[in-house]
Amino acid sequence: MRLALDEAGQAVRGGDVPVGAVVLSPDGTTVLASGHNEREATGDPTAHAEVLALRRAAAALGEWRLTGCTLVVTLEPCTMCAGALVQSRVDRVVYGARDEKAGAAGSLWDVVRDRRLNHRPEVVEGVLAVESAGLLTEFFRDR
């Protein structure tokens, strides 16, 4: 999560909401890829930290299936990112702060654990939640 928090800090420098993500290999020790929000920097509405990290991890593995991998992200994924997590077949999602307004991994919706879908990753929430939420609070307070 500390690596994801570092990524989140990079998002702020680009004018984006501070969300960072990393994808860990199945052994849990190797970082396959990382990303931070780049919507403002790139003008791409899909440039969320999770989507960018998933794309980069798939490129690193040469495979779209990220079976066995873990995505660690500072903020609970939105519906778009939750769908990408299901589609990429990651085994686990670890996130920091809950997103009561747009979260799709247990707060507002629970897309990643919807029993109607063919894949449901494990969800671990609240890891370094205070630090993750603090970055967001500081960012929006300054706006």
> From the CB of residue 31, how many other CB atoms can be counted at a distance below 10 Å?
15
Q: Which of 7, 38, 50, 76 is catalytic?
A: 50
Please indicate whether residue 50 is annotated as part of the active site.
yes
Catalytic residue IDs: 50
